[in-house]
Amino acid sequence: MAEFRLPPNSRIDQAAGKTFSAPAGARNLRRFRIYRFDPAAGSRPRIDSYQLDMASCGPMVLDALLKIKNEIDPTLSLRRSCREGICGSCAMNINGLNTLACTKACNELGRGDISIYPLPHLPVVKDLVTDLTNFYAQYAAVKPWLQTATPTPPDRERLQSKEEQQRIDRPSACILCACCSTACPSYWWNSERYLGPAALLAAYRWIVDSRDEATGERLDALEDPFRLYRCHTIMNCTEACPKDLNPAKAIGAIKKMLVERQH
C-alpha cells in the first residue's frame, strides 16, 4: 500500500508551540492560534497561541495581528499596507478561509479561537508571508495591458460606451491578493502550468475590452490543456474572493469564446 506523507517542513511540531497569556485583569479574552515558520531556522513549523484582551484591540483580525507584533511578539512576520481591502497585502487563511485580515472582523468568526495560517500551497518566506513570485509571473504572462495594432497613438482618448465599460468594470476590481488562486485545488497541483483564477480573470478583462485589438492572440495563448482547461469549475475561487468577483464565470466565458470561434 502506498503511503503519502507531507514533507517534514510542512508538518506542524505540536510540542514546539509557545503560549502568550493575556495580562492580569483582562476581561474580553480571545485566543489567536498563529502559524509560525522560519525556513532559515531549520526547524519545523509550530503554532503559537496568543491571548488578547479584545477590549483594548481594534475590531479586525489585522488589528489583532498588529497588536501581537507591536506589544507581545515582535518576531511575528506578516504583510500589510492599505488596511482598506485595496492592496491585497494581508491576504491569509483565517479559520480555514482565504481572506483579507484588514476587512475580516473578529466578531464575524464566532466565539472560539481564531486560527491564522499563510495562504495555502505557496512557499513560505516566513510565518504568514508567502512567496508570490510564480503568481505574479502568471499574471504578467497574460499581458495585462492594452494591445493595439495602431502604429501611432490616437489624437484622442479611446472611447467606450457605458455598456462596454461595464463589461470590464468588475474584473478590473481584482487586487491580486491571490485568495482565489490559492483556494483552487487545480492550482495547488498544477501551479507551474495552470495560470489560475486570478491570471485568467485578468486575461478575460482584456479580452472583453472593446479598445483592445489582440483578442485573437490572447485566445490563442490560452487554448492549452493546462493554462486554461485545468479549471474544473469547482468554484472555490469565487467563494474565496474578498472583493465578491467571479473568476469562475470569467473562465467559463473564455472557454465559450474558444468554442464559438471554431464555428
Final residue before a domain boundary, out of 115, 130, 145: 130
Average pLDDT over residues 226-238: 96
Burial (CB count within 10 angstroms: exposed 0-12, middle 13-18, buried 19+), residue 198: buried
Final residue before a domain boundary, out of 96, 130, 164: 130
Domain co-membership, 79 together with 67: yes
pLDDT tens digits along 139-154: 999 999 999 987 777 7
Enter the pTM of the model: 0.92
In a domain, 3, yes or no: no
Domain co-membership, 139 together with 123: no
Domain co-membership, 123 together with 32: yes
Residue 206 is part of which domain span? 133-260
CATH number of domain containing 240: 1.10.1060.10
pLDDT tens digits along 100-124: 999 999 999 988 999 999 999 999 9
Cα 149 to Cα 139, 168, 204, 236: the distances in Å are 22, 21, 19, 37
Domain co-membership, 125 together with 242: no
Q: Given this model, what pLDDT does residue 252 score? A: 97
